[in-house]
A and B are shown apart, each in its own frame.
Chain A
Amino acid sequence: MRKLVLLVALSLLMISAKAQLSGAVYSASGDVLSGATLRLVKSGQIVQSGSNGRFVFSDVSLPDSLFVSYVGYTEQRLWVASEQADLKLYMQKDGSQLEGVEVVHTGFYEVPKERATGSFTVVNNELLNRSTGGNILQRLEGLASGVQFVNPGGTETADIRVRGIATLHSDATPLIVIDNFPYEGDISSINPNDVESVTVLKDAAAASIWGARAANGVIVITTKQGRYNERSQLSLSSNVTIGQKPDLLYSRNRLPSSVVMEIEKEKYEYGALYKEGVQQYAFPEYVEMLIALENGTLSRADFDRQEAILQQTEVREEAMHHLYQSSVSQQHALSGRGGGERYNYFFSANYDKGRSDIIGNDHNRINLNLQNTFKPFQDMEVSASLWYAEQRGKNNGLGIRDLEGYSSYVGLSPYTRLMDEEGNALPVIKDLRHAYVQRAEEMGLLDWEYRPLEDRNLVDKRSKREELRANLGLKYSFLERFNFLATYQYVKGSGQSSVVYDKDSYYARDLINKFTQPDGKMIVPNAGIYQEGNPNASASHSGRAQLNYTQSFGRDHAIAALAGGEIRSFVQNTFPGKTLYNYDPDLLVGTATYSYLEYYKNHPGGTNMRLPAPSSTRRQFTDRYLSYFGNASYTFKERYILSGSARWDGSNLFGVKTNQKGTPLWSVGGSWDVSKEDFYAVDWLPYLRLRTTYGSAGNVNKSVSAYPTISMSGTLYDTDLYMAYVRSVGNPSLRWERVNTLNLAVDYKLKSNRLAGTVEYYAKWSHDLIGEDLLPPSTGINPNSATLNSSKINYADLRGEGWDLQVNSRNLVGALGWSSNLLLSYTTNKVINYKGNDAVMTSSYLTSSNVLPIVGESKDIVLATKWFGLNAENGQPYVLYDGEFSQDYVAYFNSLSVADFLRVGVKVPPLYGSLRNTFSYKKFTLDFLLSWKSNYVFKRTSSGSESNGLIYHMDFLDRWQKSGDEKYTYIPAKTKTGEVLSYSGLIYNHSEILVTRGDHIRLQDINLSYTLPRSATGGFVEMRLFAYARNLGILWKANKQGIDPDFAGAEYRTPKSFSIGVQANF
């Protein structure tokens, strides 16, 4: 702004008549702004800044007032008194900053959002920096329209849906693009501090440019870059986040110790349920006490004393005290950038470190990044960049589930204690009967107790991931309107994990004891054990050549086009693991020369077993892609835009025929800026634009082979001819799944940007989805065949549609500013064509987390059994079988088909959204994010059981106990000890009575920041201080059971976390 004033002052000093006026338009940060409108008030001349930001008024009479406008930036007006040849105009962003960075990065080209026909969501740097956390994807939650976090707080692509789903059995994750190339590495190795912006491509016009893998949406991550003619700048940022200790008492899958002990006592007294076997499988501690009491090895007094202690114990409290902690994480980043006329650079170093909420688990990450760009000639730009990331983790912690004993008898005993009054680690029941374990030393074996608190320090589990990413780029501009871009990317990643078990660790002692022979010989030496998991390595090479062309013809016509080709190869390797016995962790020596073939007698029971061998898995996967693409747009009179794109994809995943045929993926689109029309005279709505696109994008399925496979099998009769069986004929027509998307959108802005936003409607038709097909036997595939069995082909169809609504409002402008951002999305899907697999059991439609598609229903459908209440006699559920109330669950269930199940709703919320309110007062900004989800259901867990299982649930306390209770409760009676009611548990646990509405509103986070402007520190530093709180809890929920629908069956909810941090630019 000061520069501007200076310029105006300078220009006032000179006076001239007919003159030329030229210069360039920049953003405050020095970015070239192309497409800015410059208007001279007196003469009425209008020009637009070109691609390099430059503008020229050739024949002007000065002085005059110059208006400069650019969408998203505050309009400028300045007085030009005399001829100027190099006027530099710096534009300030709109005070509201509603629009953020207007430029859309598709990975192939950049375009101002106002000139794009497709559907994009841009999350700019400022918005990304609102939250803390080491994962870039996590930061998009609630901020990107149309992006749904199926797993709240998700950090992986699998947790995300962009505009619902478009596939049934194939990869449903969006494509991640980093710096113009698809990224197949570990997203957690990307440091959010290095990210400049994220663009989500949602419709066909946006995604089809990415071709055969874009059907699930594309998330384009653009990293920070240096800029030409920018003064050197150093940035420092640092923050600390502290998360609360998890609340394990949130879980409803638990019962008080005394209740569980009663149940165990009843089972013990029934007899026959705790049978001692040669395998010495563990019994619950309380049962051991009862046995000891009966045997007389435990006195009544001791029993009563111990029983009282157990009754007072709650394992979750023990765990919270000894196993869990507050999580702490720190992030520190240093970056620098700058540039001269022919050179710019960017570098950064990041260090993240944190301990998890489980004691013993921590992780850290180092990121280094260096980018250089040179202009050896005026027309040529060469860039080279390097990123390195290293992540290390230590995973020695024990969670609540690690305290579970042998699954058939023990499970998670609620009275498990971890530490005695003197602070000694207590043993817990693990795999073997305690009575047996106690005799170990008598039998000449090592101590066989498992003491979790001690063991945590005797195991050293580590993991490490490294990733190196290198980009090389060449840009050459010629013939004014063309530029040629060649880019190459190399990504190399590797991961490994190792465990060192101390010789005193439970794992080592357990293995040593198991393999101690009757004569006392230890097959596994009494020493440490070193294990290495399957190391993996991957490498990808990508290259792209692209020719861009832009030209304007007069003021009315503008064309931008690009065409090019891309080639990629991605190889993943998995290597065999290693095991060293007799390992000394100090000297790092051990032996690997053990016989994994020999059988040894095992304790207990004397069965013959082999030593656990390291994994011998060796795999190699090669993915190759070859693509050609083109994209063009034509703008007429700045208000009509036509755009189109086409792309051809070949891949070794596809069949030969697809690669030969080369049916392209394509899109067309158009937009109309109604408000620029002469007839447009709606005063209160100064901006109104209509957009539409239609086109197709693809998706791949890596589990199906395009190639035939055979197996060799002996010789034919008594000849010497080798025979081969054909296992699969492959599928030469295997091709990408194809998703056609229609997008209709309206962009609008009210006067002075008070209200602005977008309404978008989309419909998706997914065709050629991979599904298991019932094939005509003339394909050679038939149920009688022992050899040919490939029946997964491209045939199924899915339909999806939905709305994305975005409203940005500036409620208060002035010293106290208040703006709101509302995102609202609705998305549904329906299976149109799918031929079910007859062999699937009906019960899997209830129990499976991934129900097979049902024609006419959503892919996310939840099925339930009908509920008929409880029988007043025995408190068990009724069923309606053959028109009568019955309790013949087996006959009833077998009579059911999928069509008889109730369609009770969907498990993924079709309606979801967020509301962000930002208040600013002077240098303070406060914003908070509310999110909601609705119109979906989940099945809450309960205590139905068919037999005497180990399902402990709070509902047990409210169960049916006597006749008449059925009027107040739907929770079935406890199964009589020893009685098995097959299917009754299944029918109850999946009945409509347990189906719960998931609707809720959540306060996701709050951010308070204070900005210290450069001026306040004498130009030395610009600083931002912030405090941030996340996972603040539910404000409203539809269910009355106190369940957080995002954590319906979980042990605990993600705890609240609080951060403070500082960011400084020098």
Chain B
Amino acid sequence: MNKLYLFILIGLFCSGCGKEFLDIKREAHQVVPKTIKDYHAIMANDLLLVSSNDLAFVAADEYTLGSEADLIVGSQYNPIYKHIFKWENEGYESDEQILDWNFAYERIAYANLAMDVERVKPTTKYEHMKQLEVRLAARFHRARNYYQLAQLFCKAYDPQTADQEMGLPLRLDYDLDVSYERSSLKQLYVQILKDLHEAEEIGQEHSVDNGKNPYFPGLLSVEALASRIYLQMGDYKKAQEYADKVLQKMNSLIDYNNLTGNITGEYTSYFRLNGAENPELIFYTVCKTGAIMTPSRFRTNEKFFQDFDDNDLRKEKGFYQRAAGNTVFIGSFAGRGASSYFTGFSVGEMLLNRAECYARSGEDVKALADINRLRAKRYRNYQVLNMTDVDDMTKLVLMERRKELFMRGMRWDDARRLNREGKYPVSFQRTLEGKTYTLEPNSKNWLFPLPPTELERGKLEDNIR
């Protein structure tokens, strides 16, 4: 019987060596990512710096159009625009591709693939550092993209009902063969926060800040994202905590009084291309919006425009009146005028997040201090606001937020969370060719239907609208 043991031993030996034995690629000429450098390069792709909230821009009330004709022509390649613009309860055309969905999931696939960096054993301290950067980045990008998809295709987060609401297909792996149901909204947010906290841990333990490079996420970017997400979830304490963490490390603001530039058209800007050398920039992303919002059609919401004080330089330096008469927004940090909009994280947003959290917890003095700090850099000859000037601190912060974060894709997200909360409801309204369209705070249309190709091929349940 001793011999039997020998064979068992041989068997065990064979099974032990199996994994490595099978771990060789078949075709030698394929580039299979296998080094930390490879994975780092995947996470440095500029595809990841695009944000998926085109639909949020289209649906937001920050702009309007001049005519039905503009609406029809602007919706030629994206038929859903014409329905979203009027907040109508209409779906997509049969094979319509929804770029927000497609690209967000493509970025998630990049992130899922980059998670494999953990399989590589770093040999030098430098490699170890690079590996941490990739691990952080993969989690950050996955969390960011799922968060963004949630703002478009799921209901606003409500802790009371989150486990009954529909989430998204939660792909955490690049395996094509596995099919996913829609998770619950709670599962989705749990996953987003899990990624965030893991990324935070990686960032904290190893102080990965990536030299404040706004194109590759570090701890700062993670904290800024956390602040935005907790605010959306209504967790003001956490939102304030994370905004505070960022501001302790980074708090410089551009003084709009010093902005100089040669504005000659709707594609010129006071800011440098891709947010270069912008001291306010924590993490850079940009949204390339669809044809419906090209400068020739875009008309800034007149009421919003008028709400800016005349001393507010964001009005003077952020807008451009075209020869055709319409006013377009050129104040984006993306530096391309009215062609693409910055959607990343800035010091300004962090100040506003913190201010709102202070206001909501009754610390109006602290809130006002943050508002004053921001305004000081945005106004000409700024007169500091006093507590006596303020009626409702939260309302003030929200108004400031609408101005500072104009055309950042935040209007849609903010309206959703405010309506869910109910204290400061927001309704959207537009008039086109004499007809008024409204999106009421309690409407079911504060989210979009899932893309038809996804529903059909992934066999998913659609949103109820």
The finding on whether chains A and B are genuine partners in a shared complex, rather than unrelated, reads yes
Q: Are A782 and B46 in contact (CB under 8 A)?
A: no
Q: What are the interface flags for B18-53 relative to A under an 8 Å C-beta threshold, 1 for contact and 0 otherwise?
A: 110111111111111100011011101111000000
A-B contact pairs, 26 of them (CB 8 A): A569-B21, A619-B28, A621-B28, A626-B18, A655-B175, A708-B32, A708-B174, A709-B32, A716-B46, A719-B216, A721-B40, A722-B37, A722-B44, A725-B45, A729-B174, A729-B175, A733-B176, A774-B457, A776-B457, A778-B101, A780-B109, A780-B112, A785-B102, A787-B47, A788-B106, A788-B109
- Within 8 Å of chain B (Cβ to Cβ): is A650? yes
- Within 8 Å of chain B (Cβ to Cβ): is A653? yes
Q: Are A547 and B7 in contact (CB under 8 A)?
A: yes
Enumerate chain B residues within 8 angstroms of A542, measured Cβ to Cβ.
none
Q: Are A777 and B102 in contact (CB under 8 A)?
A: yes
Enumerate chain A residues within 8 angstroms of B7, measured Cβ to Cβ.
484, 545, 547
Beyond A650-B18, A708-B113, A710-B42, whether A719 also contacts B215 by CB under 8 A is: yes
Output the least CB separation between A838 and chain B (Å): 9
Q: Are B175 and A659 in contact (CB under 8 A)?
A: no
Enumerate chain A residues within 8 angstroms of B31, measured Cβ to Cβ.
709-712, 727
Q: What are the interface flags for A471-484 relative to B under an 8 Å C-beta threshold, 1 for contact and 0 otherwise?
A: 00000001100001
Q: Which residue of B lies closest to A476 (CB)?
A: B3
Interface residues of B in 125-143 (CB under 8 A from A): none
Enumerate chain B residues within 8 angstroms of A652, measured Cβ to Cβ.
22-26
Enumerate chain B residues within 8 angstroms of A731, measured Cβ to Cβ.
175-177
- Within 8 Å of chain A (Cβ to Cβ): is B213? yes
Q: Are A723 and B41 in contact (CB under 8 A)?
A: yes
Interchain CB contact (< 8 A) of B46 among A479, A626, A723, A774: A723
Enumerate chain B residues within 8 angstroms of A711, measured Cβ to Cβ.
31
Since A624-B22, A729-B175, A777-B101 are in contact, a sample of 7 more A-B pairs with Cβ atoms closer than 8 Å, ordered by chain A residue number, is: A626-B18, A709-B33, A712-B41, A726-B113, A729-B176, A730-B32, A778-B168
- Within 8 Å of chain B (Cβ to Cβ): is A784? yes
- Within 8 Å of chain B (Cβ to Cβ): is A421? no
- Within 8 Å of chain A (Cβ to Cβ): is B424? no
Enumerate chain B residues within 8 angstroms of A779, measured Cβ to Cβ.
105, 109, 171, 176
Once bound together, how far apart are the Cα atoms of A723 and B42, in whole Å?
Answer: 6
Chain B CB count within 10 A is highest, among A569, A723, A773, A793, for A723
Q: What are the interface flags for A692-729 relative to B under an 8 Å C-beta threshold, 1 for contact and 0 otherwise?
A: 00000000001001011111100111110111111101
Q: Are A650 and B22 in contact (CB under 8 A)?
A: yes
Q: Are A702 and B26 in contact (CB under 8 A)?
A: yes
Q: Are B3 and A484 in contact (CB under 8 A)?
A: yes
Beyond A652-B23, A721-B41, A733-B175, whether A780 also contacts B453 by CB under 8 A is: no
Output the least CB separation between B108 and chain A (Å): 6
Enumerate chain B residues within 8 angstroms of A715, measured Cβ to Cβ.
44
Interface residues of B in 424-465 (CB under 8 A from A): 451, 453-454, 457-458, 460
- Within 8 Å of chain B (Cβ to Cβ): is A340? no
Enumerate chain B residues within 8 angstroms of A516, measured Cβ to Cβ.
none
Beyond A626-B21, A710-B38, whether A780 also contacts B108 by CB under 8 A is: yes
Q: Are A780 and B41 in contact (CB under 8 A)?
A: no
Q: Which residue of A lies closest to B101 (CB)?
A: A777
Enumerate chain B residues within 8 angstroms of A716, measured Cβ to Cβ.
44-46, 215-216
Enumerate chain A residues within 8 angstroms of B253, measured Cβ to Cβ.
none
By size class, the interface of chain B is: 35 or more
- Within 8 Å of chain B (Cβ to Cβ): is A189? no
Residues of A within 8 A of B (CB): 478-479, 484, 545, 547, 565, 567, 569, 619-624, 626, 628, 650-655, 657, 659, 702, 705, 707-712, 715-719, 721-727, 729-734, 773-785, 787-788, 790-791, 793-795
Interface residues of B in 74-94 (CB under 8 A from A): none
Interchain CB contact (< 8 A) of A478 among B3, B22, B32, B99: B3
Q: Are B40 and A793 in contact (CB under 8 A)?
A: no
Q: Are A784 and B46 in contact (CB under 8 A)?
A: no
Enumerate chain B residues within 8 angstroms of A726, measured Cβ to Cβ.
42, 109-110, 113
Once bound together, how far apart are the Cα atoms of A790 and B177, in whole Å?
Answer: 11
Beyond A650-B22, A721-B216, whether A776 also contacts B177 by CB under 8 A is: no
Once bound together, how far apart are the Cα atoms of A653 and B1, in whole Å?
Answer: 37
Q: Are B27 and A705 in contact (CB under 8 A)?
A: yes
Q: Are A783 and B23 in contact (CB under 8 A)?
A: no
Enumerate chain A residues within 8 angstroms of B11, measured Cβ to Cβ.
545, 565, 628
Beyond A622-B24, A623-B26, whether A729 also contacts B109 by CB under 8 A is: yes
Once bound together, how far apart are the Cα atoms of A717 and B46, in whole Å?
Answer: 8
Enumerate chain B residues within 8 angstroms of A732, measured Cβ to Cβ.
173-175
Once bound together, how far apart are the Cα atoms of A783 and B101, in whole Å?
Answer: 12
Enumerate chain A residues within 8 angstroms of B276, measured Cβ to Cβ.
717-718
Once bound together, how far apart are the Cα atoms of A1057 and B154, in whole Å?
Answer: 76
Q: Are B215 and A624 in contact (CB under 8 A)?
A: no
The tally of CB-CB contacts under 8 A between chains A and B is 208
Q: Which residue of A lies closest to B210 (CB)?
A: A721
- Within 8 Å of chain A (Cβ to Cβ): is B207? no
Enumerate chain A residues within 8 angstroms of B457, measured Cβ to Cβ.
774-776
Output the least CB separation between B272 and chain A (Å): 10
Pairs A-B, 6 closest by C-beta atoms: A780-B109, A776-B458, A733-B177, A724-B41, A782-B102, A620-B28
Interchain CB contact (< 8 A) of B45 among A708, A719, A723, A734: A723
Enumerate chain A residues within 8 angstroms of B27, measured Cβ to Cβ.
619-621, 705
Enumerate chain B residues within 8 angstroms of A790, measured Cβ to Cβ.
176
Output the least CB separation between A408 and chain B (Å): 36
Enumerate chain A residues within 8 angstroms of B46, measured Cβ to Cβ.
716-717, 723
Q: Are B178 and A733 in contact (CB under 8 A)?
A: yes
Interface residues of B in 312-371 (CB under 8 A from A): none
- Within 8 Å of chain A (Cβ to Cβ): is B103? yes
Once bound together, how far apart are the Cα atoms of A814 and B385, in whole Å?
Answer: 123
- Within 8 Å of chain A (Cβ to Cβ): is B384? no
Once bound together, how far apart are the Cα atoms of A719 and B276, in whole Å?
Answer: 10
Q: Which residue of A lies closest to B284 (CB)?
A: A717
Output the least CB separation between A833 and chain B (Å): 13
- Within 8 Å of chain A (Cβ to Cβ): is B382? no
Chain B CB count within 10 A is highest, among A623, A710, A790, for A710
Output the least CB separation between A602 and chain B (Å): 32
Once bound together, how far apart are the Cα atoms of A479 and B7, in whole Å?
Answer: 14
Chain A CB count within 10 A is highest, among B7, B23, B38, B173, for B7
Enumerate chain A residues within 8 angstroms of B109, measured Cβ to Cβ.
726, 729, 779-781, 788
Once bound together, how far apart are the Cα atoms of A154 and B41, in whole Å?
Answer: 50
Once bound together, how far apart are the Cα atoms of A721 and B40, in whole Å?
Answer: 8
Output the least CB separation between A392 and chain B (Å): 30
Q: Are A622 and B101 in contact (CB under 8 A)?
A: no
Enumerate chain B residues within 8 angstroms of A621, measured Cβ to Cβ.
26-28
Beyond A723-B41, A785-B106, whether A778 also contacts B215 by CB under 8 A is: no
Output the least CB separation between A1016 and chain B (Å): 52
Enumerate chain B residues within 8 angstroms of A778, measured Cβ to Cβ.
101, 105, 168-169, 171, 180, 454, 458
Q: Are B25 and A784 in contact (CB under 8 A)?
A: no
Output the least CB separation between A269 and chain B (Å): 53
Enumerate chain B residues within 8 angstroms of A788, measured Cβ to Cβ.
106, 109
Enumerate chain B residues within 8 angstroms of A707, measured Cβ to Cβ.
25, 30, 32
Enumerate chain A residues within 8 angstroms of B263, measured Cβ to Cβ.
none
- Within 8 Å of chain A (Cβ to Cβ): is B72? no
Enumerate chain A residues within 8 angstroms of B28, measured Cβ to Cβ.
619-622
Once bound together, how far apart are the Cα atoms of A787 and B451, in whole Å?
Answer: 21
- Within 8 Å of chain A (Cβ to Cβ): is B372? no
Enumerate chain A residues within 8 angstroms of B97, measured Cβ to Cβ.
777, 782-784
Enumerate chain A residues within 8 angstroms of B24, measured Cβ to Cβ.
622, 624, 652
Output the least CB separation between B187 and chain A (Å): 15
- Within 8 Å of chain A (Cβ to Cβ): is B387? no
Enumerate chain A residues within 8 angstroms of B460, measured Cβ to Cβ.
776
Q: Are A722 and B175 in contact (CB under 8 A)?
A: no
Output the least CB separation between A516 and chain B (Å): 38
Output the least CB separation between B410 and chain A (Å): 24
Q: Are A776 and B215 in contact (CB under 8 A)?
A: no
Once bound together, how far apart are the Cα atoms of A783 and B25, in whole Å?
Answer: 27
- Within 8 Å of chain A (Cβ to Cβ): is B14? yes
Once bound together, how far apart are the Cα atoms of A774 and B19, in whole Å?
Answer: 32
Q: Are B33 and A710 in contact (CB under 8 A)?
A: yes
